[in-house]
Amino acid sequence: IPGGLVGGAFTLWAFSRNRNQPFALWADVASPGLLLAQSIGRWGNFINQELYGLPSQLPWAIHIAPGNRVQRFAQYESFHPLFLYESVLNIMGCLILLWATRRYARNLQQGDIALGYFVIYPTIRFFLEFIRVDSSQVAGINANQSLMAVVAIVSAFLLALRKLNIGSAPNR
């Protein structure tokens, strides 16, 4: 997803520049829909039997075929449906962004909703990485979790800075 976001952001930037329109405004428009699209896309992980979590005996645990299991968990049959957790949380994130767009419309600056996306989605991914069985380890560090933590913290910091800047007026 990070690579897709970079490619999508570049394409959106080129589009907005070509049309002489504000990139931040278009990023705000796209952000809730992006979370919704990611929510739908996670169901592909279910079909492919990927993006599942640690072994689980919970009533909603899913069966993973032996050929699709991560080797170190091959002896287990049922796992946390990580794709489902992320799908539901992404829908909730989409609804939060839509609600914030309406509730705070007069106080938002262009780019605030996009920054909200970059707080919400990385936070979801950060916490789900704790139960993911196939995390991307680099030198013993979960690369996805580390990246998501940095993006969420930087985005929250930038959003807070924008809100604390008393002299700036909303530009919606």
From the first residue on, what is the mean pLDDT of each consecutive set of 10 residues in the chain (172 residues)?
Answer: 88 94 95 96 93 95 95 95 97 98 93 97 95 83 90 96 69 52
The residues pairing with 55 across neighbouring beta strands, listed in sequence order, are 79
Closest C-alpha to 88, from 100, 76, 80, 77: 80
Helix (H), strand (E) at residue 62: strand 62-63
Residue 21: phi and psi, rounded to 5, are -125, 155
**Helix, strand or coil for residue 55?**
strand
User: What pTM value is reported for the model?
Assistant: 0.88
The residues pairing with 132 across neighbouring beta strands, listed in sequence order, are 53
User: Furthest-apart CA pair in the chain: how many Å?
Assistant: 60
Q: What is the model's pLDDT at position 167? A: 47
Q: Are the C-beta atoms of residues 133 and 75 closer than 8 Å to each other?
A: no
Taking residue 43's Cβ as centre, other Cβ atoms within 10 Å add up to 12
